[in-house]
A = this chain, B = another copy of it.
Amino acid sequence: MVAVTIECIKTCAQTGARLGRVHTPHGSFDTPAFMPVGTLATVKTMSPDELIGIDAHIILSNTYHLLLRPGHDVVREAGGLHAFMQWPRPILTDSGGFQVFSLSAVRQVTEEGVHFRNHLNGDRIFLGPREAIDIQHALGADIIMAFDECAPHDASESYIEASVRRTTRWAEACLRAHTRADTQALFAIVQGGLSPVQRVASARDLTAMDFPGYAIGGLSVGESKEQLYGVLDTVVPLLPTRRPRYLMGVGSPDALIEGAMRGIDMFDCVLPTRIARNGTVMTSTGRLVLKKSQYARDFRPIDASCTCPTCRTHTRAYVRHLLHAGEVLGIRLTTVHNVHFLLTLMRNIREAIAHDRLASFKEEFFAAYGMHAGHRGF
């Protein structure tokens, strides 16, 4: 029995985007879905109740960070991540691969895995496919990820080729180590940088192993939106339609729409929570930088058309005051708003797919948000 399945409900006649529902041992969620990031077993500043209140149905947590703090053994003793953080709905954990390659300056890649130093205290750590799976078993997420190498943005074609081959071998090793396929679904990660040849090779090799889901990794690392969409155009057609497709680390509003149009079912990104902590909020008419003096006496909600708890209750002037004073409630209010904004965007995307009008929705959204062709921001 496979732990996680996707029910494909329909495709958008205008774009080919997929409307679906993913079923997991901790409940279902509608796709295309955005997963808020709870790196250290908490979506920064938010309680589980608040996440449920704004209709979050799945969150992501980071294996590497939980390995360091509090340690996966503590989470196992607590009864897994769901019990530890008291989040009753689906969780996806990444494999730690991305963090090993992005956070750790000193590392040595071998066939068995990666020797690197803990970015907090410099301790030596080894992480390979077997370790990544063992840790993710301890964490107990519904969806777990294969250990992969995320090659540097500027890697040579020959390095990418070797890296993709290794990532495929590691995916096989993960599959062998994964003894709990009935309760946790192991997704493979297609790598290959910006090389169409290597992306195709990676997708072909991994789909041959029939994983219950496929991610596209190694993106959102500095490439242009055009390059990102180009990789999706190369890879997605090679993925099986009966499996969920997850675009890792991408969550700007434009990329969520463009990704959905290219057949992506799941997304995650720290964007909404990270920019919230700097006081930047997304609204139906574009971004606001709330610390600006122009909002000091602005007693309107952040977004008059928004139904989030922040906009239902508080003014721009109050939130700005809290942000300026360094009050925690300020970043709580902006975080709730931004996560709600992306969850609402996904609901609107799903509704547009249901009505075969995602391309029209994209035009309307971009116009209201102030986006244009070649727009690079969020």
Which one of A155-163, A259-267, A322-330 is at the interface? A322-330
Closest residue of chain B to A336 (Cβ to Cβ) is B47
Evaluate contact between B318 and A78: CB separation under 8 angstroms: yes
Contacts of A321 in B (CB 8 A): 40-41, 69-70, 74, 84
Q: Among B78, B86, B296, B327, which residue has its beta carbon within 8 angstroms of that of A42?
A: B327
Q: Measured between C-beta atoms, what is the minimum distance from A318 to chain B in Å?
A: 6
A202 at the interface (CB under 8 A from B): no
Q: Determine the chain B residues whose CB is within 8 A of the CB of A281 once the complex forms.
A: none
Whether A327 lies near B84 (C-beta < 8 A) is no
| A317-B86 contact given A45-B329, A297-B77, A329-B42, CB 8 Å threshold | no
* C-alpha spacing A154/B20, complex, angstroms: 73
In the assembly, how many copies of this chain are there?
2
The residue in chain B whose Cβ has the minimal distance to the Cβ of A326 is B40
Question: Are A69 and B297 closer than 8 Å at their CB atoms?
Answer: no
**In the assembled complex, how far is the CB of residue A5 from the closest CB belonging to chain B, in whole angstroms?**
31
A296 neighbours in B (Cβ, 8 Å): 70, 74
Interchain CA distance A41-B321 in the complex, whole Å? 9
* Pairwise interchain contact A328-B78, C-beta atoms closer than 8 A: no
Chain B hits for A93, CB < 8 A: none
Rounded to whole angstroms, the CA-CA distance of A87 and B320 in the bound complex is 17
Which of B48, B74, B325, B327 is A297 in contact with, Cβ under 8 Å?
B74
A78–B315 touching, CB < 8 Å: yes
Q: Which chain B positions have C-beta within 8 A of A85?
A: 318
Report the minimum CB–CB distance from A309 to chain B (whole Å).
8
CA distance A85 to B330 in the complex (A): 11
A46 within 8 Å of B (CB atoms)? yes
A332 at the interface (CB under 8 A from B): yes
- From residue 46 to 78 of chain A, which have CB atoms closer than 8 A to chain B? 46-48, 69-70, 74, 77-78
Q: Which chain B positions have C-beta within 8 A of A299?
A: 77-78
Q: Establish whether residues B77 and A40, one from each chain, have CB atoms under 8 Å apart when the complex forms.
A: no
State the Cβ distance, A135 to closest chain B Cβ, in Å: 16
Q: Does A108 make an interface contact (CB < 8 A)?
A: no
Q: Which residues of B contact A204 (CB under 8 A)?
A: none
A121 within 8 A of B: no
A242 within 8 A of B: no
Give bound CA distance, A332 to B331, whole Å: 12
Taking a contact as CB atoms under 8 Å apart, the answer to whether B328 and A328 are in contact is yes
- B78:A327 contact, CB within 8 angstroms: no
Residue of B nearest to A48 (CB): B313
* A274 CB → nearest B CB, Å: 13
Does any Cβ of B come within 8 Å of A176's Cβ?
A: no
Is the CB–CB distance between A331 and B328 below 8 Å? Answer: yes
